[in-house]
Chain A
Amino acid sequence: QVQLVESGGGVVQPGRSLRLSCAASGFTFSRYGMHWVRQAPGKGLEWVAVILDVGSYKYYADSVKGRFTISRDNSKKTLNLQMNSLRAEDTAVYYCARISEGSGSYLDYWGQGTLVIVSS
């Protein structure tokens, strides 16, 4: 069965960096695009970034563009999110999710999330 397990969350000071990872299993990772989605405490879902299967196409939400970088290692079946210049408003649970087959317009499987707290 499809499994996505995020790691790397924690408490970090404003302006510092953090790297999240998502380990995938149960499917052919290299064939699927992958997303990061976040949810601030008590708030709704916010899409963060997507990377397509071969990693050549990456798209970002305006709120993180230029600060966050999505990447993948198909040999290790791992999705990453490098977060730089972190701000208090980046505090959230970060989920990785798989892009759907076909049009790729929805997210068909999600991990359980990892919490990032940006605070001094």
Chain B
Amino acid sequence: SSVLTQPPSVSVAPGKTARITCGGNNIGRKSVHWYQQRPGQAPVLVIYYDSARPSGIPERFSGSNSGNTATLTISRVEAGDEADYYCQVWDSSSDHYVFGTGTKVTVI
């Protein structure tokens, strides 16, 4: 099944832009979804179908997906964005759901 690789950590200053990558073989052919998990809390969906935002998610969160890399972009980063972020795809060949390795975003 799919293997999704994320950088372990990303550091960003408040007000700047954070970019979190999710690498996988031909991931551009799949729909990629992103979850935010704050410390001690359950994951929350922040992006689905590569770039769509659920109701209540700020416009500062955006996504893209092409080739072998999907990217979650957080613009104008705030202290409250400090969390772990996971990408996820559905592997239709096995009917398995696959999560990326996760990226810890630190606001410095």
Contact = CB atoms under 8 A, between A and B. Distances in A.
Interface string A88-120: 000000010000100111111111110000000
A73 interface: no
- Chain B residues touching A, majority SS: strand
A41 interface: no
A103 B51 CA distance: 15
B48 A106 contact: yes
A112 B37 CA distance: 11
Contacts of B76: none
- Most B CB within 10 A of own CB, among A50, A61, A105: A105
B95 A103 contact: no
B96 A47 contact: yes
Contact of A47 (B49, B98, B102): B98
Contacts of B43: 37, 45, 95, 107, 110
Instruction: State which size class the interface on A falls in.
Output: 20 to 34
A72 interface: no
Instruction: State which size class the interface on B falls in.
Output: 20 to 34
A105 B33 contact: yes
Interface in A41-90: 44-47, 50, 59, 61
Given A44-B86, A44-B102, A110 B96 contact: no
Contacts of B35: 45, 107
B89 A45 contact: no
A109 B55 CA distance: 12
Q: Which 7 A-B pairs have the closest CB atoms?
A: A105-B90, A106-B33, A44-B102, A47-B97, A45-B99, A110-B42, A59-B95
